A and B are shown apart, each in its own frame.
Chain A
Amino acid sequence: MSTHQNLKLSRRGFLKAAGATMALPYIIPSGVLAAPGRPGANDRLVLAHIGIGGMGGFHLNDMQRFVEKGEVQVAAVCDADEKRLADAVTKTPAGAIPYRDYRYILERKDIDAVVIATPDHWHAVQMVHACESGKHVYVEKPACCTIAEGTAMMNAARDNKRAVQVGSQGRSEHEAYLAHRYLANGNIGHIDRVDCFHYPSPADDEPVPDSEPPEELDWDLWLGPLRWRPYNKRYAHGTFRWIMESGGGQIRDRGAHVMSCAKYWMNADGQSPVTVEATGTPPTKGLWDSCVTLDVTYTFKDPDWILTWRQPGDPVPKEERRPDEPEISRPGYGAVYHGDKDTFHHWGGDGGTWAERKAREWVPAAGAVEVFQSPGHKEDWFNGIKTGAPTIMNIDAAVGVADLCNLGNLSYLLGRKLQWDGKKRRIIGDEVANRMLSRPQRYPYHL
């Protein structure tokens, strides 16, 4: 099928587009004048957005600031929901072409990069396919739903030399930088424990029977790699988060933020836990099956430290802020860092990250340790695309965080402690648990 058939152009627009098409298919790829496969420093990046509801809608709107500066062009939008897609088209200037099937986008040679903000169960497949098609990728967190997906994502980025940024944007927040710098300079001493807290996952208080999907939703495409099942309106939209297979609950949502900060600030991006043990309580009715309360303990060795994820855990009351400081609008999650000299806490950890006052007011002395200060999460990705520099939440780091989320849920599901070999990416002495590190995928929606 020609990708042109989706266009509805005015006569003048048609002539202009037709002329452009005869001369060059679509837009001139930005990398034409730069190193092979990599746009030049001053080139405008040509992007497509895959998944434009929820966080996808946020990204589409947020990208406008780069469009207005002439740094990027949004050439295509994609969603399995036709109503959402039609709505996105009205919000996207300059004739972005709508697609239901993301693979049309991957065929387009003029598109440099894609922003993937689909439900979690699609992240790995679409990211791997995009890398294999030569696209740079921004993919929402959590990176993946299984250990095997994570392995495939790391391989795809490396083998295809693509710049990948994962949407744990807390790392790029200003107060995250202040917190990181404060901790890296030993202000609370040696840290041997980090306790994350988060309010519980919701339970489904409006369960409904399965039904026909709404006309605008391509249910088969929405399910993608998941095994087929009848539509139930409690799956989508947004509520996929509370289904273990697709969303994984709070630990895979906010855990991928708060524990991302922990691993980064503890300089532990390359470190895996050696044991994972979880207990939790499930919802008492309804379709959603991710646990309402959850308590996971991860132990790390060499260096030794403990990380916990607790729903609800021990929330820290929000701090009073000065009038000139941003208010803590999401105090319900964060983490407490325990050092041998002091403790430190932060709230949020995603697009809202608030550091305790002592980190904000700390003034580094000469010779203090400096840490990387992100120019912004998307800016950092663009830099990675153009220079090849590692992104702040590159795929290896993001898979390391997603592993925590996925192993936590796995331990909860199995009801037993797991011994993890991070190098081999295998569970020690538990063959059945190892089977669950991957999940067979429906054809053709596979890695």
Chain B
Amino acid sequence: MRTHADSVAAATTLAAGAGEATAQNAALQALLEGIQSSDEQVRTAAWRSAGEAGAAAVPGLAQLTEHQDLEVARAARRGLWQVVRQAGNPRTETVRQAVEAGLLELLNSNSSPALQHELQWMLSEIGGDAAVAPIAALLEQEALREDARMALERIPGKKARVALKKAFDDAPGDIKPALAVSLRNHGGKAPGVPDDKLRPVRPTSVQALASEGGAS
């Protein structure tokens, strides 16, 4: 059986004479075709190899996360994560920056909410100062703000802390406690805001059995 790795190798070899850019395009094309394969082994080999493609693979993989075939969409999402995880390698700072830029471009576009949730968590792992403002802007959107808060909490540095502080100062009452937690976890201060973590709010409809012994 011809594997995805074989396809990538063949494409790379064929394109070798035509220059590096052509070879990369051919490899990227092979990757995206592999992700869309009906053979689960080929799909898996493809998404596992996606990290090598780096930032160039981000738009194509992101598009495939919306594929109607759930397994293709899943493979694309996992491929995107491979790109992110490999980009975080401390020896490849330029790759990290390029992937971060690719993710931010998608975050600022009309991506689906599902993809935007995912992008925020990806940026929480590899995003730097450049990611702070675009993520902070999502705190304004009710459907995205909880993930945005958590993503900012994870991004180190003064810029993320300042963004959390500003969001905390400006926030309406309902999300202030959550922002206070993130701000404190980031090393900032958020005085005077109670934390509801120990307050029970979810009663059950199940009743205790009648018992001769009663409650005790």
Residues of A whose CB lies within 8 Å of any CB of B are: 1, 4-10, 12-18, 20-21, 26-27, 75, 82, 85-86, 89-90, 93-104, 106-107, 129, 132-133, 207, 209, 218, 221, 227-229, 282-287, 289, 413-416, 429-433, 435-436, 438-446
Complex: how many Å from CA A285 to CA B214? 51
Q: Which of B146, B150, B182, B197 contacts A129 (CB under 8 A)?
A: B197
Q: Does A95 lie within 8 Å of B195, measured CB to CB? A: no
Q: How far is the CB of B196 from chain A (nearest CB, A)?
A: 5
Contact of A89 with B90 at beta-carbon distance under 8 Å, contacts A415-B85, A442-B150 already known: no
Could you list some 16 contacts between A and B, CB below 8 A?
A: A6-B203, A6-B208, A9-B215, A16-B212, A16-B214, A17-B214, A82-B204, A94-B213, A98-B206, A282-B44, A284-B40, A415-B51, A432-B89, A438-B154, A440-B124, A440-B182
Residues of B whose CB lies within 8 Å of any CB of A are: 40-41, 43-44, 48, 51, 70-71, 74, 78, 85-86, 88-90, 96, 117, 121, 124-126, 146-147, 149-151, 153-156, 177-178, 181-182, 185, 195-216
Q: Knowing that A94-B211, A432-B125, A443-B197 touch, tell me 20 more A-B residue pairs with CB under 8 angstroms.
A: A6-B206, A7-B208, A9-B215, A13-B212, A17-B216, A20-B216, A21-B215, A26-B216, A82-B204, A89-B209, A94-B216, A96-B208, A100-B204, A104-B203, A207-B71, A431-B156, A432-B88, A435-B154, A441-B150, A444-B199
Contacts of A286 in B (CB 8 A): 71, 74
Q: Does A98 lie within 8 Å of B214, measured CB to CB? A: no
Q: Which of A98, A100, A207, A221 contacts B208 (CB under 8 A)?
A: A98
Q: Does A101 lie within 8 Å of B200, measured CB to CB? A: yes
Complex: how many Å from CA A348 to CA B177? 45
Contact of A107 with B204 at beta-carbon distance under 8 Å, contacts A8-B210, A10-B211, A435-B154 already known: no
Q: Does A9 lie within 8 Å of B211, measured CB to CB? A: yes
Q: Does A440 lie within 8 Å of B215, measured CB to CB? A: no
Q: Which of A9, A429, A438 contacts B214 (CB under 8 A)?
A: A9
Contacts of A218 in B (CB 8 A): 202
Task: For A3, give the chain B residue with the smallest CB separation.
Answer: B200
Complex: how many Å from CA A99 to CA B202? 8
